[in-house]
Amino acid sequence: MIKKHGLTANKALGQNFLLDTQLLSRIASVPGDLQDSLVFEVGPGPGGLTQALLQAGAKVKAVERDERCLPALQELSNHFPDQLNVINEDALKIDLSQLFDTPFHIVSNLPYNVGSALLIKWLSSADWPPAWQSLTLMFQREVADRIVAKEGSSAYGRLSILAQWRCDAKLAMSVHRSAFTPPPKVMSAIVHLTPKEQPESVSPEMLAKLTQTAFSQRRKMLRQSLKSLPGGLDALKTVGIDGARRPETVSVDEFVTLARCLSA
Ligand code: SAM
C-alpha cells in the first residue's frame, strides 16, 4: 500500500507506520472482542491497524489528516464493504458526539505530536462515564509510563492524575522501535484505559490547573508551588495535606480532594 500509493512518511504528521500483521492483530485484540463493535481510529495512515480492526469484525470510523492516504483507505474499504468510513480532518477538531450515537472504542497508533492533547480531550468529557468504552492507544514509552505511573515514582505527574482519576489505566504491551517504518528514536507502548463508573466528581479544569501548578516545580514543596494558586494554601490546610510534601507523594485521591476544596 505504502509503495503503491507513494506514501513516504511525513515526520511532521508523526508518520511511523506499523506493518507487522501479527503485532497489529494483537493490538486490535486489546479492547476485547470487537465483532460488530464500533471503533474510532485516529490516523489510519496506509491502513495497517485499520485492517486488523476490520478483520476483527469492527465497524471503523477513522479520521486521517493526510489526504495522500485516502486512496489506500478506499481500497481497504472496498475489501470490507460497509465497515469503514474515513473522514479527512484534523482529529483535534472532531466532535465525537456528532459521529457516534452508540458506545464505541477508541483505538489508535497515535501521531505523537497530538497524542497527549487528544488523550486529555477524551478524559475531560463533561459527561461521565463517557460515550467511549475504552481507549487503546500507542504512545512513546515515556508518555505511556507517565499515564500509568503510581505516586512516589519519578514518572508520576499531571498525566497520571488526569488519567487515573477517571479511568483504570494499564500498560498493555511494549512495542520496540524497530516495529515501525521508519523506526522512531524511542520505544513505544500501548496503554489501555477503561472508564471508572463513578469517579469522585470534580471539575476537570480545576484538577488540570492544580496538577499543572503542583508539578510545574516538582522538586518544590507543595506550600511553595501552590502559593500562586488562589486559595491553594488554605485548601492544603482544610484537607489536611502537609505543605512540606512534594507533589509526587500526593495520591490521585488526595489531588482530587484538594481540587474539590479549591472549587468550593
Ligand atoms: N495507523 C497507522 C499505523 O499504525 O501504521 C499510522 C499511524 S502514524 C503513527 C499516525 C497517523 O496519524 C498518520 O497517518 C498521520 O498522517 C495521522 N495524523 C497526524 N496528525 C493527525 C491529526 N491531527 N488528525 C488526524 N490524523 C493525524
* Distance, CA of 89 to CA of 209 (rounded, Å): 29
The residue range of the domain holding 213 is 204-263
Say yes or no: 213 and 167 in one domain. Answer: no
* Distance, CA of 39 to CA of 58 (rounded, Å): 6
> Per DSSP, what are the bridge partners of residue 75?
none
Q: Calculate mean pLDDT across residues 254-262.
A: 96
Neighbours of 154 (CB within 10 A): 10
Alpha-helical (H) ranges within the chain are 21-29, 48-55, 70-79, 96-99, 112-123, 141-148, 158-166, 204-216, 222-225, 232-239, 252-263
Say yes or no: 156 and 57 in one domain. Answer: yes
Q: What is the pLDDT of residue 217?
A: 87
Say yes or no: 187 and 244 in one domain. Answer: no
Q: Tens of pLDDT along 194-252?
A: 999 988 889 999 999 999 999 998 899 999 999 999 999 999 999 999 999 999 999 99
Residue 157, in any domain of the structure = yes
* Ligand 1 centroid to residue 47 C-alpha, Å: 10
* Ligand 1 centroid to residue 45 C-alpha, Å: 5
Closest CA to ligand 1's atom 17: 43
Q: What is the pLDDT of residue 201?
A: 86
Residue 3, in any domain of the structure = no
Q: Tens of pLDDT along 56-68?
A: 999 999 999 999 9
End-to-end Cα separation, the chain, in angstroms:
55
CATH number of the domain encompassing residue 101: 3.40.50.150
Q: Tens of pLDDT along 111-134?
A: 989 999 999 999 998 889 999 999
* Ligand 1 centroid to residue 13 C-alpha, Å: 6
What atom in ligand 1 is closest to the CA of residue 63?
Answer: 25
